[in-house]
């Protein structure tokens, strides 16, 4: 039977596999993690609002009823396109007839990988719990610190990158300090925490209309966030961050400046754009390899007006569905190329627990109405009734009491620069979303 191998069980790979149900194929889906992750709510794990299990599901469980699908936990390290084999870490190889690469993106530091230990990015559950731990440890250490300068640095949190993730992190961290932690410490007032959002460009949320960017900035400032625009970061270290030539002492720095594609283009030795995405054909095949498709954040796909299809979950899902339909048609004898067309549904970002911005093209919304629409949309896209109920309940609780329950410091309670739980490996960051 025709064997389809899918690398990556994120939004693109999982949607492809789902859409292929009933086709006369055998499918092997490989991921280096055992779970599918709902990345849009990762920032809520990092900021103590949700628990890890509320936004991630075992891939094996999600595909349990699909007898033709085999789920493998493994890291792909290369592709032998000549022999049509996917190469796994440890030496295994898996043969394919059709290959779908849906390996997503990772964060990057504009050539400054040495900043990563001081400014972790947000891409995985491990990243989220590392950031959560650092935020909470900053306050714990400040409670024990008698030197006012050191205490100030411990209570200064800097988020680098003013895209949706940076805005969402900054708003929620400000609320955490202002509402959730208030009154629980004896030597510090958590409301004195300084939350700084640093953006190199001239406005926040550059993908949104300027009036929504301006709204987001005002809303963050109302929450007490200091917004620094037009200030590129030139240094991150154990003592703080330098932006616009000014050094700000800070013990908690979070990198939200964007992402770069997975190394899938390198595996195949094909042309990539400046963030490493495979420049695919209009039908999402890899040039010179009609049996290999690339979808989602790892693919460079042209859109209208000279723009690219954005690196967002709906785009990855639409591409996954498109490729599934192409594979079906090919198996039925129709090999004509089918160009992919992207339909953009809109852009959304929240600012704390009471405001959001939504850009649906002609319709633009701000404030609490936007927040409720954002919330309902995200609940809808979560997988499974149980998660929808628990996340709704967690949000209602936070909304009405300000209390966040996922405030656990795990992986040890020692802070400092010798932390052993930092995400390993080079990461990168340029904006895909
Ligand atoms: C913090 C954050 C917030 C976001 N918020 C939003 C949002 O609000 N709305 C929105 O639409 N989009 C959002 N995005 C973007 C969205 O998550 C991505 O566009 C989407 O996940 C892309 O889907 P994908 O299938 O290409 O990659 P992913 O969903 O990232 O999946 C890639 C999969 O491949 C696996 N993988 C990677 N390399 C290998 C390998 N070598 N071997 C085996 N497996 C591998 C990974 O483990 C992962 O499971 C956000 C992203 C982040 C990081």
Residue 415 has a pLDDT of: 53
Considering only CA atoms, which residue is closest to atom 44 of ligand 1? Answer: 31
Instruction: Note the pTM of the prediction, 2 decimals.
Output: 0.93
Q: Assign 410 a pLDDT band (cuts: 50, 70, 90).
A: confident
CA of 40 to the centre of ligand 1 (A): 9
Q: Assign 320 a pLDDT band (cuts: 50, 70, 90).
A: very high
Considering only CA atoms, which residue is closest to atom 51 of ligand 1? Answer: 39
Q: Which residue has the higher pLDDT, 331 or 417?
A: 331
The mean pLDDT value for 349-368 works out to 93
pLDDT above 70: residue 333? yes
Q: What percent of the chain has pLDDT over 70?
A: 95
Angle between helices 385-401 and 367-381 (to 10 degrees): 150
CA of 205 to the centre of ligand 1 (A): 19
Considering only CA atoms, which residue is closest to atom 12 of ligand 1? Answer: 312
Q: Which of 11, 101, 166, 319 has most ligand 1 atoms within 8 Å of CB, for mutation?
A: 11
Ligand 1 nearest-atom number relative to CA 349 = 8
pLDDT above 50: residue 352? yes
CB under 8 Å, gap of 24 or more: what pairs does 313-319 form? 313/11, 313/39, 313/40, 313/381, 314/344, 314/345, 315/342, 315/344, 316/10, 316/11, 316/12, 316/15, 316/102, 316/104, 317/11, 317/12, 317/15, 318/342, 318/343, 319/12, 319/284, 319/295
- For the stretch 178-229, pLDDT in tens is 999 999 999 999 999 999 999 999 999 998 999 999 999 999 999 999 999 9
CA of 39 to the centre of ligand 1 (A): 7
Q: Which residue has the higher pLDDT, 369 or 414?
A: 369
Ligand 1 nearest-atom number relative to CA 104 = 27
pLDDT above 90: residue 361? no
- Tally the residues of the chain: 433
CA 387 to chain CA centroid, Å, is 19
Residue 422 has a pLDDT of: 34
Residue 213 has a pLDDT of: 97
CA of 128 to the centre of ligand 1 (A): 14
User: CA 433 to CA 417: how far, in whole Å?
Assistant: 30
Mention every residue, 6+ apart, whose C-beta is less than 8 A from residue 407: 48, 132, 136, 180
Considering only CA atoms, which residue is closest to atom 35 of ligand 1? Answer: 8
Q: Assign 362 a pLDDT band (cuts: 50, 70, 90).
A: confident
Q: Assign 412 a pLDDT band (cuts: 50, 70, 90).
A: confident
Ligand 1 nearest-atom number relative to CA 88 = 42
- For the stretch 53-91, pLDDT in tens is 999 999 999 999 999 999 999 999 999 999 999 999 999
The catalytic residues are 168
pLDDT above 80: residue 421? no
Residue 87 has a pLDDT of: 98
Residue 405 has a pLDDT of: 81
Considering only CA atoms, which residue is closest to atom 37 of ligand 1? Answer: 103
CA of 71 to the centre of ligand 1 (A): 18
Q: Assign 384 a pLDDT band (cuts: 50, 70, 90).
A: confident
Considering only CA atoms, which residue is closest to atom 20 of ligand 1? Answer: 313
* N- to C-terminal Cα separation, the chain: 38
User: CA 246 to CA 411: how far, in whole Å?
Assistant: 33
Q: Assign 413 a pLDDT band (cuts: 50, 70, 90).
A: low
Ligand 1 nearest-atom number relative to CA 9 = 49
Ligand 1 — pocket residues by CB below 6 A?
A: 7-13, 30-33, 39-40, 42-43, 75-76, 102-104, 122-123, 164-165, 262, 296-298, 311-314, 316, 433
Q: What percent of the chain has pLDDT over 90?
A: 86
Ligand 1 nearest-atom number relative to CA 264 = 41
User: Where does residue 224 rank: exposed (0-12), middle (13-18), buried (19+ CB within 10 A)?
Assistant: middle
CA of 388 to the centre of ligand 1 (A): 20
- 259 in Cβ contact with 430 (< 8 Å): yes
Tokens of 53: 């299990």
The mean pLDDT value for 118-145 works out to 96
The mean pLDDT value for 88-113 works out to 95
Buried b (16+ CB within 10 A) or exposed e, 181-196: beeeeeebebeebbbb
């Amino acid at each position: 039977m025709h064997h389809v191998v899918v690398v990556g069980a994120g939004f693109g790979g999982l949607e492809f596999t789902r859409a292929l149900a009933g086709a006369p194929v055998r499918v092997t889906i490989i991921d280096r993690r055992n779970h599918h992750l709902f990345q849009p709510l990762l920032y809520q794990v990092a900021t103590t609002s949700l628990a890890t299990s509320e936004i991630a599901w075992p891939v094996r469980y999600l595909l349990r009823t699909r007898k033709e699908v085999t789920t493998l936990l493994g890291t792909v390290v290369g592709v032998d396109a000549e022999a049509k084999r996917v190469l796994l870490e440890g030496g295994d190889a898996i043969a394919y007839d059709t290959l779908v690469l849906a390996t997503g993106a990772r964060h990057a530091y504009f050539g400054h990988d040495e900043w990563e230990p001081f400014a972790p990015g947000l891409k995985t559950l491990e990243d989220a719990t590392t950031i959560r731990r650092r935020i909470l440890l900053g306050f714990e250490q400040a409670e024990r610190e008698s030197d006012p300068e050191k205490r100030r640095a411990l209570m200064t949190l800097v988020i680098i990158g003013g895209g949706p993730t940076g805005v969402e992190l900054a708003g929620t961290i400000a609320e955490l300090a202002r509402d959730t932690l208030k009154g629980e410490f004896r030597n510090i007032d958590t409301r004195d925490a300084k939350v700084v959002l640093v953006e190199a460009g001239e406005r926040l949320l550059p993908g949104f209309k300027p009036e929504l960017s301006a709204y987001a900035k005002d809303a963050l400032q109302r929450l007490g966030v200091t917004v620094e625009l037009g200030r590129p970061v030139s240094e991150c270290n154990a003592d703080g961050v330098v932006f616009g030539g000014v050094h700000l002492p800070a013990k908690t720095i979070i990198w939200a400046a964007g992402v770069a594609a997975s190394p899938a283009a390198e595996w195949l030795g094909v042309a990539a754009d400046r963030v490493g995405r495979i420049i695919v054909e209009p039908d999402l095949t890899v040039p010179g390899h009609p049996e290999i498709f690339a979808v989602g954040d790892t693919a460079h796909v042209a859109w209208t007006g000279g723009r690219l299809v954005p690196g967002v979950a709906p785009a990855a899902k639409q591409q996954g569905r498109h490729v599934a339909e192409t594979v079906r048609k090919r198996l039925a004898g129709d090999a004509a190329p089918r160009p992919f067309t992207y339909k953009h549904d809109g852009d959304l970002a929240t600012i704390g627990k009471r405001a959001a911005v939504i850009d649906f093209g002609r319709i633009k919304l701000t404030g609490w109405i936007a927040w409720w629409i954002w919330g309902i949309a995200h609940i809808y896209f979560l997988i499974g009734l149980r998660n929808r109920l628990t996340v709704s309940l967690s949000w209602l609780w936070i909304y009405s009491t300000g209390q966040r329950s996922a405030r656990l410091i795990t992986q040890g309670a020692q802070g400092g620069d010798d932390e052993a739980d930092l995400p390993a490996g080079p990461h990168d960051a340029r904006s895909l979303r």
